[in-house]
Amino acid sequence: MKNRKTTTASSNHRRYPRYQHLSQLSLTYEGHSESVCIHPPDISAKGMFINTGAEFPEGSVLKLRFRLARTGARIAARCEVRYCLAGVGLGVEFVDLPAECARAIETELGASGPPTC
């Protein structure tokens, strides 16, 4: 019988550290005007998981705006839906992220301490 604790820890290994404190978060489907209701996500240097009941097909391009909690940096980014868990949320990857936004996210992640797994 497998040790449940070991199995859980190894299945939660992340390639990029996650940070869970953002503010002033908004999401719109590119080409549409209405905002999507979302809850605070976790963010990495390459993308984030967004908690929302809204569903989008893989490959959809979204516009994302938020403020990093520790540094206060404002981030505006386009992202592409990589996967959608119906009723749970979306895994998105940043596309065309401006260099200054990428640096701000990296700084925020470095300031947040050890990665969340």
The Cα–Cα gap between 2 and 26 comes to 42
Q: How many domains does the chain have?
A: 1
Q: Which pLDDT value is given to residue 66?
A: 86
Q: Does residue 116 surpass a pLDDT of 70?
A: no
The Cα–Cα gap between 39 and 26 comes to 10
Q: Which pLDDT value is given to residue 10?
A: 37
Q: Structure pTM? A: 0.66
The Cα–Cα gap between 72 and 27 comes to 18
Q: Does residue 84 surpass a pLDDT of 90?
A: yes
The Cα–Cα gap between 105 and 103 comes to 5
Structural domain contains residue 116:
no
Q: Residue 102 CA to chain centroid, in angstroms?
A: 13
Span 6-28, pLDDT tens digits: 333 334 565 665 555 555 566 77
The Cα–Cα gap between 53 and 16 comes to 25
Span 20-64, pLDDT tens digits: 555 556 677 777 666 665 666 788 889 999 888 888 999 999 988
Only one residue has tokens 């990029």, namely 16
Runs of H (alpha helix) within 1-117:
4-11, 99-111
Domain holding 104, by residue range, is 4-111
Q: What is the CATH number of the domain that holds 50?
A: 2.40.10.220
Query: What is the pLDDT averaged over residues 87-92?
Result: 91
Structural domain contains residue 85:
yes
Q: Does residue 111 surpass a pLDDT of 80?
A: no
Q: Which amino acid is at 47?
A: G
